[in-house]
């Protein structure tokens, strides 16, 4: 591969990781908002951690305890931490982007299953669209990893450094020069 293709694949991989990080952050925010009954929910997040927490919370409402909510919260954060570990490790061992893709694919199947079980609302279409968005970037990130698998970590980091130092140069290349 030439240098330009390597940089494009590296940028695609980075976009996949960045979208995964956004999912992690917004899922944590959603869990916190749900815990405080804020009535607000971000769409760009994972479904399973929220579902596990909500199940625990509903058991507590029925039984009048708070142990199930705590168990649900712990289980939700274990799932979120798993995503975070995939994100962290994918920087050094790029194949972990595939693990994140598999994990989020399972999350998407659970979302679709839940939508089929409950009464349909138009807001579910947005949820599906955002899951599709995240899957798109994770799939592209995984494809980029596959194309870059022959590049060792040090060479990959050099490419990333070139991208960072030439960010303004890339923008300048994309805009045509003015003709006077």
Q: Mean pLDDT over residues 66-70, rounded? A: 91
Q: Is residue 176 part of a domain?
A: no
Q: Residue 100 above 70 pLDDT?
A: yes
The percent of residues above 70 in pLDDT, for the chain, comes to 92
Q: Is residue 174 part of a domain?
A: no
Q: Is residue 172 part of a domain?
A: no
pLDDT at 94: 87
Q: How many CA atoms, within 13 angstroms, populate the side-chain half-sphere of residue 95?
A: 4
Q: Is 175 helix (H, G, I), strand (E, B) or coil?
A: coil
pTM for this one?
0.84
d(CA 30, CA 36): 10
Q: Is residue 175 part of a domain?
A: no
pLDDT at 173: 47
CA-to-CA dists, residue 40 to 34, 154, 171, angstroms: 8, 43, 37
Give the model's confidence band at 175: pLDDT under 50 very low, under 70 low, under 90 confident, else very high.
Answer: very low
Give the model's confidence band at 87: pLDDT under 50 very low, under 70 low, under 90 confident, else very high.
Answer: very high
Q: Is residue 180 part of a domain?
A: no
Domain housing 90: 3-166
Looking at the 3D structure of the chain, how many domains does it have? Answer: 1
Going by C-beta distance under 8 Å and a sequence separation of 6 or more, which residues neighbour residue 106? 48
Q: Is residue 150 part of a domain?
A: yes
Q: Mean pLDDT over residues 61-81, rounded? A: 93
DSSP 37-82: T-----SSS-SHHHHHHHHHHHHHHHHT-SHHHHHHHHHHHHHHHH
Q: Residue 174 above 60 pLDDT?
A: no
Residue 179: CB atoms within 10 A of its CB come to 4
pLDDT at 151: 84
Alpha helix ranges (H) inside the chain = 3-35, 48-63, 67-92, 96-117, 123-148, 153-165, 167-174
Q: Is residue 71 part of a domain?
A: yes
Q: Is residue 179 part of a domain?
A: no
């Amino acid at each position: 591969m030439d240098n330009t293709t390597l940089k494009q694949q590296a940028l695609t991989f980075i976009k996949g990781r960045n979208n995964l990080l956004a999912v992690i952050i917004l899922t944590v925010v959603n869990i916190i908002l749900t815990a405080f009954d804020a009535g607000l929910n971000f769409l760009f997040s994972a479904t399973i951690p929220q579902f596990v927490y909500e199940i625990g919370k509903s058991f507590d409402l029925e039984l009048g305890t708070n142990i199930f909510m705590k168990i649900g919260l712990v289980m939700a954060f274990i799932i979120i931490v798993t995503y975070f570990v995939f994100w962290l490790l994918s920087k050094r061992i790029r194949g972990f982007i595939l693990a994140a893709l598999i994990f989020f694919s399972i999350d998407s199947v659970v979302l679709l299953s839940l939508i089929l079980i409950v009464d349909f609302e138009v807001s579910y279409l947005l949820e599906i669209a955002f899951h599709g968005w995240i899957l798109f970037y994770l799939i592209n990130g995984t494809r980029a990893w596959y194309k870059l698998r022959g590049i060792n970590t040090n060479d990959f980091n050099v490419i990333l450094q070139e991208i960072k130092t030439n960010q303004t140069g890339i923008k300048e290349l994309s805009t045509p020069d003015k003709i006077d």
